[in-house]
Structure 1
Amino acid sequence: MTQILPLALPGTLVDHHRIDLTALYSTGWGIHTYDVAGTPNGEVYALYGVYRHTYGVADDEQDPAKAGFGYRIITRYSANGEVLASALFRSDGAGEPSAVVDGNDMSLCVLPDGVLAISTRPDNTTLVAPDLSRVLAAYDSKDRRPFGEFAPGDAFATSISVTPSGRLLCTVAEYGVWRYGNLLTNIVGVADGALTAHSKPVIKALAALDPAPAHHSGIDSRAHATYRGAPIGLANRPRPALTELVADEDPLSGWDDSRLGRPVALADDLFVVPVYAKTFRGGSRGRPFVFALVDDRGEMTGRLHGLHEWRDSPFTGFNFNLAADPNHGHAFHLNRYGLYAWNKAGVLRAKLATDTKAFKPLTHFTLAACSPDGDLLLVHTKQHLILRVPAPDDLTVLAAAVEEALRAYARQRTALKKEWEPVNWHWTLTSAPVYRL
């Protein structure tokens, strides 16, 4: 069933900071969506943030109506679209300290036991109760910085996804990737045990991006992430690296400074690992990218075929997300030029081009995830709504399903506006509980 869900701001937060919902984002405030995740029972969680930068206002300004701020918000929706609860925490280091470990590249995952995992780079993972009422545990890596004393923390993963049987598909950051003096995502691995508030499983590395991150020492070993039975670090990581396997595809500039995207599971033992070449300030359309198929032995068995580096470039607008429905063996990607769908063999089975009238509205959406039952979860970047698209078992009728969902979106949006009365597409939540984490 097609469904739309509002990415709402808690009314108490709007009132406390006197947020002007009519103001343009160019005045220094805005809303950004990080991730969306579904549960087997049809519920949905959304992770997004709101910030305000105040120019010309003192950093120690105490009046919340004038001071800048940054918050992350998690909202939980029932299977029928009702907002059940929200939780928020500071992301700017100000105010009441948060139990959630903050960081970059924030992502969301619902673990097999229903616990919510919030992960950020580098390898910080916070476990939150399903009802959003409290933090259960936090694995904090204590980010290493150049020229400073470093005391290793208790790290886990930069991102987590769950396979049908409950395996955890993870990424891990390493120091010195492409000779940078910080930690960047470099390892893809699988953990077969449960991640709980009391214990974490070992992540077995399958693939690496940079084959030899620079300036490693003993403190850079990841004891909970292993390759061939030994901790990741120093010279121990999978070889050949993904960039070595695809090195002949861009012989002029190579794959130095490339980035590893968040992998998705096509099956319990098959994963799609996106790799993107270096981006440039003057424009990156046409730069190479690979959606590699990697099995659980670490072998690159193929790729998702059918995308042209220029005509289908994800670098336009930086739309790099992939989503997968492992129960049917389908992978999806949405960028400015179309919605693409592949089967398990990596064959492109559908392309819904956005230069056609029917699918032009897709240019306003980003692909967030697939729900466990295979529905596509899209986020409207300006209207702050999640669109749930029932994806068919047969990809040859995907076009009809998406076209109907876009029509339903327009109808349901009108009804939701009458119910919520948003201001400039900003939705305010007043009825559900709001927790501070």
Structure 2
Amino acid sequence: MPEVIIVLFNRDLRITDHPALHQACQDARQVVPLFVVDPAIPPRGRAGFLVECLHDLRESLRERGADLVVRRGDVVEETMRVAAETGATAIYASGDVTPRARRRESRFAREAVGFQTFPGITIVPPARLKPATGDHYKVFTPFYRAWSEARWRPLVAAPETVSMPEVRPGDIPGVRHRPHLPGGEREVRRRLDLWLRHRLRDYAAGHDDLAGDHTSRLSPYLRFGCVSPLELATRSGASEEFVRQLCWRDFYAQVTFAFPGIARDDYRPGRRDWHHDKEAEDAWREGMTGVPIVDAGMRQLIAEGWMHNRARMIVASFLTKTLRLDWRVGADHFEELLLDGDVANNYGNWQWVAGTGNDTRPNRVLNPVRQAKKFDRDGEYIRRHVPELANVPTTMLHEPWRAPSPILGYTAPIWRG
């Protein structure tokens, strides 16, 4: 039995259903829980949320007799320093799919310690399901069928105690601003319990209702691994529609695993010619396009670091299909501000909407006015996020350019349907 194993936390900031932590506690006499703040990966708008997650994780570990060791610098170099300090002979971590994470795993594999990855970021490991031809599924529906038939691993409980060697814990970074949503495993468990009791049953009927906001808002907690996607899927099994949404996360994980250039390169090249218009790009980013449903979504993103999923599709289609601006402009902006900004999901979804990705109907266009009238019929979502339009009658709200006179205080449209 190894004396000491390091458990390297990354996008799995929890102690419940954490296979790497669970196995380390079984395999070693002592465990070093470690998180490395990598300056090469700016947390962007997620800094406050990340810090709250780290404090929550530290508190949970302290309750079990251990602590969260925090270091700053290159992840591999700092982890190896901690290994030298503690005499650790192995490093356990959750496997990931991004190019940066896989390069890091390759570097660890070359070090003179044992390195092992475990599931936990996805429900089904990304390379496990493969079609009859090819190395990954390119279309969601057949992937969903295979995914639904796959056997899921069993959930693992949080360790009751964690024995840890003497090592300097280090400080968790401070931040100036608190996030719109509080971070951490305790918080997501409170929210999850409430949502399962009161909202899950209405999810299929109401998840596209912009004003009703019937979505779970659990995506930031999934992105930072405050709850495992497997536990969420297991507990939400009564709603096939919600579990299907979780399958989309696994789908894009296996796409990214097979196509590591997803954040920069067209998955299906040669489909679009983009043009560049800085004024239009800036208007879109700032929620000043003059198209109310688009501006509402973009302002929600600025204010909350989050956006309703239906609104994400509308604003993405508007940028790429209506304005014909490069999807990378939008995807990078989302990655900058979203609390749930995740390489596989964010860039995979943007390519899907732009017609360069996994959509089997790459030429579909979401007309923002028709979408607004369907999913925000009374304009409550628009009024909530675009106060200049609070007193505009619903008959003119979705198309203010049709009003008899310009609406005072609201920007002129850069597009008219």
TM-score, normalising length from structure 2? Answer: 0.24
Q: More strand by proportion, 1 or 2?
A: 1
Higher relative contact order (CA 8 A, sep 6+): 2
Query: Hey, which of these two has a bigger chunk of helix by percent?
Result: 2
Q: Which has the larger radius of gyration?
A: 2
